[in-house]
């Protein structure tokens, strides 16, 4: 029977295998990876070992993490310097797509994104960009959405949203940023479920079959994309409407709320 310790080691190897494959592709060395791991150990320990809002001592962090006190002092200083750096704003293309999918002004009576004329005071592409993309010109945003294959121009010269999610196609830095967010969210959910009782668990489900004929792979890929994009769009519209309804309500706020879905395929 597996112990918790052996199970953690086995799970860690599974998690790290695809990650290390990515790191090797981008020439990230073991020492660079190790430095990041040290820094994260210190950062997490500083938060999770706090008592009544008071951070743990450096010696306490050193004991728990196995790092030397000297390393903890160095890494703590680096973390404080990083916290002072300005955070990146959400991608402008993502903001425009999200608003197009959720804002009533840009939806038809069935809740689907409208085909938008380029110009117009309301319900046009330029008005969408003005409201949700800051000071970037509409033509620049349109070129980016066309490059991402998120939008197409119709014969009637309107613009149609054809991709109901922001998926970077060519920019590797954007793809890696999305990877970090998605994997962090998934592991946070798994960690919550490990620590809680069954009735407090977050949604964590998969559908996986083995030894599947290649003849149905493309069919399943298309079917799963279609259904998942529909679910994501419906949930996005629901959350957007409720957020507006409760914008001024008193009480605590949750920083982030959502649902992630992902496709699974392994070689034979």
pLDDT in tens, 135-182: 678 888 888 888 878 899 999 889 999 876 655 656 677 778 878 888
Q: What is the pLDDT of residue 88?
A: 44
The three-state DSSP-derived secondary structure of 47-60 is: HHCCECCECCCHHH
Residues 6+ apart with CB under 8 A from 117: 123, 124, 125, 157, 158, 159
Q: What is the pLDDT of residue 219?
A: 95
Structure tokens at 29: 């060395």
pLDDT in tens, 242-257: 887 887 888 888 888 9
Which one has a higher pLDDT value, 28 or 77? Answer: 28
Q: What is the CATH number of domain 92-161?
A: 1.10.10
All structural domains of the chain with their residue ranges: 1-87, 92-161
Going by C-alpha positions, the residue among 199, 263, 194 that lies closest to residue 227 is 263
Going by C-alpha positions, the residue among 257, 259, 202, 182 that lies closest to residue 228 is 259
Q: Which residues pair with 160 in a beta bridge?
A: 152
pLDDT over 90 percentage in the chain: 47
């Amino acid at each position: 029977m597996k112990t918790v310790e052996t199970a953690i080691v086995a799970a860690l190897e599974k998690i790290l295998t695809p990650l290390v494959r990515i790191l090797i592709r981008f020439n990230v060395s073991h020492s660079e990876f190790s430095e990041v791991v040290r820094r994260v150990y210190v950062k997490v320990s500083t938060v999770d070992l706090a008592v009544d809002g008071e951070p743990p001592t450096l010696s306490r962090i050193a004991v728990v993490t196995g790092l030397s006190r000297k390393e903890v002092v160095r890494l703590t200083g680096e973390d404080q310097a990083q916290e002072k750096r300005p955070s990146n704003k959400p991608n402008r293309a993502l903001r425009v797509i999200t608003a197009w999918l959720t804002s009533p002004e840009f939806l038809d009576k069935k809740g689907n994104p409208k085909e938008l004329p380029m110009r117009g005071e309301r319900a046009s592409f330029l008005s969408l960009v003005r409201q949700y993309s800051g000071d970037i010109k509409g033509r620049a945003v349109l070129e980016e959405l066309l490059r991402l294959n998120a939008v197409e121009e119709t014969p009637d010269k309107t613009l149609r949203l054809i991709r109901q999610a922001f998926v970077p196609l060519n920019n590797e830095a954007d793809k890696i940023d999305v990877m970090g967010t998605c994997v962090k969210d998934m592991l946070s959910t798994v960690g919550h479920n490990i620590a809680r009782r069954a009735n407090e668990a977050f949604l964590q489900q998969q559908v996986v079959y083995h030894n599947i004929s290649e003849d149905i792979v493309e069919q399943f890929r298309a079917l799963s994309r279609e259904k998942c994009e529909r679910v994501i769009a419906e949930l996005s519209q629901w959350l957007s409407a409720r957020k507006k309804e409760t914008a001024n309500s008193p009480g605590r706020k949750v920083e982030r709320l959502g649902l992630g879905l992902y496709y699974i395929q392994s070689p034979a």
